[in-house]
Chains A and B, each alone.
Chain A
Amino acid sequence: MAEKENTQGKDVVGSVLVVGGGIAGIQASLDLADSGYYVHMTETKSAIGGVMAQLDKTFPTNDCSMCVISPKLVECGRHLNIDLMTLTEIEEVTGEMGNFTVKLRQNARYIDMDKCTACGECAKVCPIDTPNMFDEGLRDRKAAFKLYPQGMPSAFAIEKRGTAPCKATCPAHVSIQGYIALINDGRYKEALKLFKQDHPFPGICGRVCHHPCESECSRNDVDQPLAIRELHRFLADYEKQSGETYIPEITAEPRDEKVAIIGSGPTGVTAAYYLLQQGYSVTIFEKLPEPGGMMRYGIPEYRLPRDLLAEEIDVVRQMGAEIKCGVTFGSDITLESLKADGYKACFMAIGLHGGRNLGVENEDAEGVLQGVDFLRDASMGKDIDLGEDVVVVGGGNVAIDVALTAKRKGAKNVTLICLEKREEMPAWEHEIEEALEGEINIVNSFGPKSFYIDKSKRVSGIEFKTCSAVFDEDGRFNPAYDEGECQPFFGDTIIVAIGQSTNLDGIKEQGVAISRPGGLEADPVTLQTPIDWVFAGGDAYYGPKSVVDAVACGKEAAESIHRFINGLDLTDGRQKEWDFVKPEMGEEVNKPRTTVRCLDPDARECNFLEVSFGYNEEEAKTEADRCLKCGLCSECYQCVDACLANAVDHDMVADYKEINVGAIILAPGFTPFDPTEHKTYSYANHPNVVTSLEMERILSASGPYAGHLVRPSDNKEPEKIAWFQCVGSRDINCSDHSYCSSVCCMYTNKQTIIAKEHSEKELDTAVFFMDMRTHGKEFEKYYMRAKDEKGVRFIRSKVHTIDPVEDDNLSLRYITEEGELVEETFDMVVLAVGLAPNKESVDLAKTMGIDLNEHLHAATRTLEPVSSSRPGVFVCGAFQEPKDIPQSVMEASAAAATATRSLAKARGSLIKTKELPPEIDVSGQEPRVGVVVCNCGINIGGVADVPAVREYAATLPHVVHVEDNLFTCSQDTQDKMKEVITEHGINRVVVASCSPRTHEPLFQETIRDAGLNKYLFEMANIRDQNTWVHMNNPERATAKAKDLVRMAVAKAAFIEPLHQVRLEVTQKVLVVGGGVAGMEGALGVADQGLQVYLVERGDMLGGVAHKLRTTWQGEPVKPYLESLVERVRNHEKIRVLMKTEPVETTGIMGNFTTTLMTSGESLTETVVEHGATIIATGGKEYIPSEYLYAQNPNVLTHFEMDAAMDADDPRLSTAQSVAFIQCVGSRTVERPYCSRLCCTHTVKSALTLKERSPEMDIYVLYRDVRTYGFREELYKKAREKGIIFIRYNLEDNLPDVKDADGQLSVTVRDHVLQMPVELNPDLLVLATAVLPNENKDLFELFKVPINADGFLVEAHAKLRPVDFSSEGIFMAGLAHYPKALDESIAQARASVSRVMTILSRDSILVGGVVAEVDPDKCAVCVTCVRTCPYHIPYIGEEGHAVIEPAECHGCGSCVAECPGKAIQLKHFTDEQIVAKTAALFEKKKGEAA
């Protein structure tokens, strides 16, 4: 209550943030949204559902987990008052209870959820395979994916890790990982197209690129980088072979503006390539006779074949560019002339075609050549007489090209001399190696001093001085020489190749700005020169660089020119930072780089044949397969083209939001323990050792093996499977999880049974365990069934050795209880892994500022089970403590109720309601059916002939309008549908598309918006149940689509509007039972502002809690109980009626009337009206007849022991020895259930005794110690303190308790010694069963069911743990099942939340799809009364069966059973079903059979 006071007088916000989309988060959100609070729900994954969605079946009912959770997913995904944000993380939380400000980051999905129809075309074309973690990595999925088929929101997502290093490093930012992935997939055309999106020269760069991408390639960290360059060369070669050249499509409208480009090198051609795509007309002016610039005149032909060069340049010509060669800028054309010719922009990309001089004596002598001039002349095929001996000066790539060209031009001896040491040479290593292969003599560390000339003034040699250092201390180029050591080199020709310069003749004069290093001055980002319409780029701007740099520059130039012409800001958004990510590398297998085959060195002489052969297809695929998929999504953009709904957007970025909420509920869940560290279990290196969650996926029908039980290594059906319990639980050796994970024993039980069911042959299942912990409701019986009926072997032993043996089997060695060593071979081992904390949730706790406990779960107190350490922040689910689904659901509801306690005054303030137009009265109208057939992109239309189906629909009776569309669910189509309904006076709508399960509510909403009753709607499932399953047979799919449409139309003719009736509700609640559960329930409801009647048949509030001393966490119960009683007694909204019992009750959800009888001196009758009821009638301790109880005074029950402790009973201080016997009255034939709390109680009492008298000998005689969850800590501590645990069993080792003259003697066989031991305890404590209080009449009065053990039966064992199947009645506490105090409190608060989902509004809508009785036909045979699974029908006073629309679940069972046909289920009437059935078999005239 302290919490509530905090918010008084302050503005509280009527919304709640729920973090986590597992079952706990879903339940909390639904409860909140249904009780008047707006919910912001976040989930870090792309869909909600959590671990529950991954499970196959649920225990103890063996229901399909997905079937159970799926309706909740849909409800949550569509709820008007739940804002579901997937891929969202919490960044910051400020404020306080009642008013928090939360900053969120919603990561990019890369798919627009509003447009995505979940058709899956994106995944079909995605080339990236990545482990499907929903299937625990047992199979792969694509980077474009839906988490699982039923996932909500029903939309795909694209998973990106970030930009791959290759793409980020490539100056042109080509989607390298993308084209590699496409090569891997054999989609070469697509790969090439992708490359050409960002780079016009796959073949040229495939030969000459200096591939900076390869130096950052992550594969480099494993072995060698991928041969990225060779791979795109392969694509170009492949294209060339195919004879079909890809020319980028020009989608832009043609434009009038002309652009002039000076220079046809890579920069100029690239700029043209992109400008053309924008629609401009482009002219390239080239001084030399052929286009290509340095690619043609600087790179030797043996490296870059001229035909290929010409072809790649010719692409721009084919795109529409004009290339004018032999035109010199400065003389033939000038800026002025260009302007006069109407060019709107000019791009100067003139290159560096001049050399640099050494500046030493006699450099102008004949026989001294410039490298670039020499290469140009060689390229042009000029005859050059070099003589026999050639000396090349320079150590860069050009120098090597010069040397190798000289050799090919006939020089016998070529010597390359450079300043740098071998390792310092600026040339690329592979070029140097090629030079060495070409027998070029490389001499290092010499700088030229002077040229020798002969008599004819021709050069004859060159003198060199020793270079002692090339770079100075600062790393700058500043050569130091040792002139004392000089050496002459003689040759016929000396070629200087030490750098390049640009030729500025005729350029300076035009006012073009000049600067270093390339010569032209321009803005580094926009490339604009001081003359605004002139841009400059390429080598002439930035100095000598590679082709790929030129491409990058050309692209930027094109962008700037486009912006300039359109008057846009030239700089806006231009400076993108390219960060990249690397994948986490595990143990990656070495795959050596595929070597490129080359021309034999001997065959290279005197010719210019291409040296490198490139890859063939096989080599390319082998190489592509080495890619580590750094970015995950490769950005190949195939999905963009495949998505007809245009939903894919690779440019999406994270969205940052700020929301305001009154409270926060955390339900981030858990992570299954990763058993890799358990080296002895061989999990990481043996495929047939799987985790339990992997086993769930193996068993699941939607899992990797479609539910066929096979093992991963060879898909063989296993014959023997072993389960190991407590992997990552109750273990501090290999994990630091000392706690029990609570659920593993039961899921293992379930898996053994389901595995047996799935197995076609006899399956041997063995479970290796320590204690079998089946402490939940109906669990013990399940365990007994597994053991006794199904023959599951339960072996109480820890397997110490697992050896992989032949045939992928596993040999296990273990020691039995009898001490015998057994060796057994299994096909498969399942590790029952525990529920470990999430790394995510640990971070979340930090962001939220809440405390975690020592196990890294949220710290909570027993008496405030869902409150975190920060007021206003609540927790539920496995984040709080490992627990099963019903417990999570219960606490989720409890968290919802507790969180909103302080927000009650803001209830309803933020919820959204929908304004609807009045409904059109269609009564008496002939059916006018409109049929809409959906293409679903190509999902339906690509298989079935949709126009044919549409035309066919037009021939069906009552159909007045037909149409088909690409996506019926898209917003524009929905709007159109509304118009069409009005225009054609349609009064029944049939949509033939996907599944009504997912889309019916949406279409119903649409027709309702158009004024039609939402039930005037029918769907034909022609996608999920037709084109998706008959995709290989289009004709049959078309025929079946027609059949399904005909059936839907036939039913549509008979459907009627249904009207839900508004029912006023009484906002008062009756709580039966004044124990802790009843009081917590009453208080919770009252705090929400509702009147409560709390009735207690006894004369004291508090129930059994009065007998409890402390909680298991050590909190004293008494002060809590006293305060609770006081708060209940003093609450203005609670009326407590003591000594009172309900004697009569009538009514339905929202409107009950109950008569209460109060005893006393006289009987008093009170009649109360209430909208809901909570039954919390409690339980009690079993009074034993076993073990001399009531015969020997020193035999006590737990409560008696607690009382003795409270009273400081002298027997406690004198006792030297105390024994406990567990399971007294529990887990027996008469009472086959576990009482859940006695193990913890015993251990706690034992520890208290030990604390009081450390010398006392304490023995616990147990069957299985069931200290689940963090209670395991107590058990661990007890053993540490020397408390002795001796196991007994019912079969042959029942403790024998005797009384010898008042002295107790207990004999039992010790399970370790395997010998009988006799104990003589001074006190014997019996841990007796928990029984429900007897309330047969009361339960009958409220018509609530009980199970064989007398406990109340919930509506659904998993997801409705506090509801009865009768609406409006809820349960809490021991009447439901034995449970500890914290669980009772949680369940009571959960019942508050459930009550509020009904009573938070003044009225509720009832009716719709419900059964209706025709009184005239009813023969009062009570068949319906007996049939109804929910016990709704009754015989009313008028003498016929009555089915309350507010109560009816609409299952229709009574309708089918009624012999008089007196009941009809609305919307599923016999007439409608028969019409639909008959329609299948009636063929239209002219239709083929």
Chain B
Amino acid sequence: MNETFEPQILAYCCKYCAYAAADLAGSMRLNYPSNVKVIQVPCSGRVDILHLLTAFEGGADGVYVAG
């Protein structure tokens, strides 16, 4: 792993809490690395193993589910 390695992170966020929290981070202008991308889901319960595997298959270095 070289020093310039930057992981690609995908986050599945519940629209009611974690997605709203990500918006709040925006309102408060809190910085975080741009290689985190968020996909909104209606509930963290909607997230299927299939989605996680698709992400890893595509090249995600980390996936998190927040809700």
User: Which residues in A have some Cβ–Cβ distance to B below 8 Å?
Assistant: 64, 66-67, 70-71, 149-150, 701-702, 706, 995-997, 1021, 1023-1026, 1028-1033, 1036-1037, 1039-1040, 1043-1044, 1047, 1409, 1427, 1429, 1450-1453, 1455-1456, 1465, 1468, 1470, 1473-1474, 1476-1478, 1480-1482
On whether A1456 and B16 interact (CB within 8 A), knowing A702-B28, A1481-B60, the answer reads: no
Q: B32: which A residues are within 8 A, CB to CB?
A: 1029
Q: How far is the CA of A1470 from the CA of B50 in the complex (A)?
A: 8
By Cβ-Cβ distance, the 7 closest A-B pairs, closest first, are A1452-B46, A1481-B58, A1453-B45, A1024-B26, A149-B27, A1451-B43, A1028-B26
Within the complex, the shortest CB–CB distance from A157 to chain B, in Å, comes to 16
On whether A1477 and B28 interact (CB within 8 A), knowing A1047-B39, A1409-B42, A1451-B45, the answer reads: no
User: CB within 8 Å of A: which of B40-67?
Assistant: 40-43, 45-51, 54-55, 58-60
- Judge whether B21 and A1474 touch: CB under 8 Å: no
Within the complex, the shortest CB–CB distance from B57 to chain A, in Å, comes to 8
- Judge whether B50 and A1039 touch: CB under 8 Å: no
Within the complex, the shortest CB–CB distance from A1107 to chain B, in Å, comes to 44
User: CB within 8 Å of A: which of B1-53?
Assistant: 8, 10, 15-17, 19-32, 34-35, 37-43, 45-51
- Judge whether A1468 and B34 touch: CB under 8 Å: no
Contact of A149 among B17, B28, B43, B59 (CB under 8 A): B28
Q: How far is the CA of A149 from the CA of B26 in the complex (A)?
A: 9
Q: B10: which A residues are within 8 A, CB to CB?
A: 1477, 1480
Q: B20: which A residues are within 8 A, CB to CB?
A: 66-67, 70, 150, 997
Q: B26: which A residues are within 8 A, CB to CB?
A: 995, 1023-1026, 1028-1029
- Judge whether A1029 and B48 touch: CB under 8 Å: no
Within the complex, the shortest CB–CB distance from B9 to chain A, in Å, comes to 10
Within the complex, the shortest CB–CB distance from B65 to chain A, in Å, comes to 10
- Judge whether A1040 and B29 touch: CB under 8 Å: no
- Judge whether A1033 and B34 touch: CB under 8 Å: yes
- Judge whether A1024 and B46 touch: CB under 8 Å: no
On whether A1481 and B59 interact (CB within 8 A), knowing A67-B16, A996-B40, A1029-B31, the answer reads: yes
- Judge whether A149 and B24 touch: CB under 8 Å: yes
- Judge whether B17 and A1029 touch: CB under 8 Å: no
Of listed A64, A995, A1453, A1477, residue having the most chain B CB within 10 A: A1477
- Judge whether A997 and B15 touch: CB under 8 Å: yes
Question: Nearest residue in A to B29 (C-beta to C-beta)?
Answer: A1028
Within the complex, the shortest CB–CB distance from A1436 to chain B, in Å, comes to 23
Q: How far is the CA of A1474 from the CA of B57 in the complex (A)?
A: 11
Question: Nearest residue in B to A1038 (C-beta to C-beta)?
Answer: B34
Q: B17: which A residues are within 8 A, CB to CB?
A: 64, 67
Question: Nearest residue in B to A151 (C-beta to C-beta)?
Answer: B27
A-B contacts besides A1453-B43, A1481-B60, 20 pairs, CB < 8 Å: A67-B21, A149-B28, A995-B23, A997-B15, A1023-B26, A1025-B26, A1028-B26, A1029-B29, A1031-B31, A1039-B34, A1047-B37, A1429-B45, A1450-B42, A1451-B45, A1452-B42, A1455-B48, A1456-B49, A1473-B39, A1476-B39, A1480-B58
Q: How far is the CA of A842 from the CA of B51 in the complex (A)?
A: 56
Within the complex, the shortest CB–CB distance from B47 to chain A, in Å, comes to 6
On whether A1468 and B60 interact (CB within 8 A), knowing A701-B21, A1030-B34, the answer reads: no
Of listed B43, B46, B55, residue having the most chain A CB within 10 A: B46
Of listed A1029, A1450, A1480, residue having the most chain B CB within 10 A: A1029
Q: A1025: which B residues are within 8 A, CB to CB?
A: 22-23, 25-26, 38
Q: B30: which A residues are within 8 A, CB to CB?
A: 706, 1029
Question: Nearest residue in B to A1476 (C-beta to C-beta)?
Answer: B39
- Judge whether B45 and A706 touch: CB under 8 Å: no
Question: Nearest residue in B to A1458 (C-beta to C-beta)?
Answer: B48
Within the complex, the shortest CB–CB distance from A430 to chain B, in Å, comes to 48
Q: A1429: which B residues are within 8 A, CB to CB?
A: 45
- Judge whether A1031 and B29 touch: CB under 8 Å: yes
- Judge whether A1477 and B51 touch: CB under 8 Å: yes
Q: How far is the CA of A791 from the CA of B56 in the complex (A)?
A: 43
Q: B55: which A residues are within 8 A, CB to CB?
A: 1477, 1480-1481
Contact of A1021 among B34, B38, B58 (CB under 8 A): B38
A-B contact pairs, 26 of them (CB 8 A): A66-B20, A71-B16, A150-B24, A701-B24, A996-B15, A996-B40, A997-B19, A1021-B40, A1024-B25, A1025-B26, A1036-B34, A1040-B35, A1450-B42, A1452-B43, A1452-B46, A1455-B48, A1456-B48, A1470-B51, A1474-B54, A1477-B39, A1477-B58, A1478-B58, A1480-B10, A1480-B58, A1481-B59, A1482-B58
Question: Nearest residue in A to B25 (C-beta to C-beta)?
Answer: A1029
On whether A1456 and B45 interact (CB within 8 A), knowing A706-B28, A1047-B37, the answer reads: yes
- Judge whether A1465 and B39 touch: CB under 8 Å: no
Q: How far is the CA of A1278 from the CA of B58 in the complex (A)?
A: 73
Q: How far is the CA of A1047 from the CA of B51 in the complex (A)?
A: 14
Within the complex, the shortest CB–CB distance from B7 to chain A, in Å, comes to 13
Q: B41: which A residues are within 8 A, CB to CB?
A: 1452, 1468, 1473
- Judge whether B46 and A1465 touch: CB under 8 Å: yes
Q: B42: which A residues are within 8 A, CB to CB?
A: 1409, 1450-1452, 1465, 1468
Q: B37: which A residues are within 8 A, CB to CB?
A: 1040, 1043-1044, 1047, 1480
- Judge whether B34 and A1032 touch: CB under 8 Å: no
Q: How far is the CA of A1033 from the CA of B19 in the complex (A)?
A: 22
Q: How far is the CA of A1025 from the CA of B48 in the complex (A)?
A: 23
Q: B24: which A residues are within 8 A, CB to CB?
A: 66, 149-150, 701-702
Q: A1044: which B residues are within 8 A, CB to CB?
A: 37
- Judge whether A1456 and B46 touch: CB under 8 Å: yes
Q: How far is the CA of A1450 from the CA of B16 in the complex (A)?
A: 13
Q: B31: which A residues are within 8 A, CB to CB?
A: 1029-1032
Q: A997: which B residues are within 8 A, CB to CB?
A: 15, 19-20, 23
Q: B43: which A residues are within 8 A, CB to CB?
A: 1451-1453
Within the complex, the shortest CB–CB distance from B63 to chain A, in Å, comes to 9
Q: A150: which B residues are within 8 A, CB to CB?
A: 20, 24, 27
- Judge whether A1452 and B45 touch: CB under 8 Å: yes
- Judge whether A1474 and B50 touch: CB under 8 Å: yes
Q: How far is the CA of A1033 from the CA of B6 in the complex (A)?
A: 15
Within the complex, the shortest CB–CB distance from B36 to chain A, in Å, comes to 9
Question: Nearest residue in B to A1019 (C-beta to C-beta)?
Answer: B40
Of listed B16, B26, B29, B37, residue having the most chain A CB within 10 A: B26
Q: A1040: which B residues are within 8 A, CB to CB?
A: 34-35, 37
On whether A1451 and B54 interact (CB within 8 A), knowing A1025-B22, A1029-B25, the answer reads: no
Q: A1482: which B residues are within 8 A, CB to CB?
A: 58
Within the complex, the shortest CB–CB distance from B21 to chain A, in Å, comes to 7
Within the complex, the shortest CB–CB distance from A832 to chain B, in Å, comes to 27
On whether A1451 and B28 interact (CB within 8 A), knowing A1040-B37, A1044-B37, the answer reads: no
Q: How far is the CA of A133 from the CA of B15 in the complex (A)?
A: 29
Within the complex, the shortest CB–CB distance from B53 to chain A, in Å, comes to 9
Q: B22: which A residues are within 8 A, CB to CB?
A: 1024-1025
Within the complex, the shortest CB–CB distance from A1428 to chain B, in Å, comes to 9
Within the complex, the shortest CB–CB distance from B46 to chain A, in Å, comes to 3
Q: How far is the CA of A264 from the CA of B48 in the complex (A)?
A: 81
Q: B48: which A residues are within 8 A, CB to CB?
A: 1455-1456, 1470, 1473
Q: How far is the CA of A1452 from the CA of B60 in the complex (A)?
A: 23
Question: Nearest residue in B to A1035 (C-beta to C-beta)?
Answer: B34
Question: Nearest residue in A to B32 (C-beta to C-beta)?
Answer: A1029
Within the complex, the shortest CB–CB distance from B27 to chain A, in Å, comes to 3
On whether A1455 and B46 interact (CB within 8 A), knowing A1029-B30, A1047-B37, the answer reads: yes
Q: A66: which B residues are within 8 A, CB to CB?
A: 20, 24
Q: A1473: which B residues are within 8 A, CB to CB?
A: 39, 41, 46, 48, 51
Q: How far is the CA of A831 from the CA of B55 in the complex (A)?
A: 49
Q: How far is the CA of A1429 from the CA of B40 in the complex (A)?
A: 20
Q: How far is the CA of A972 from the CA of B29 in the complex (A)?
A: 29
Q: How far is the CA of A613 from the CA of B42 in the complex (A)?
A: 67
Question: Nearest residue in B to A1452 (C-beta to C-beta)?
Answer: B46
Within the complex, the shortest CB–CB distance from A96 to chain B, in Å, comes to 43
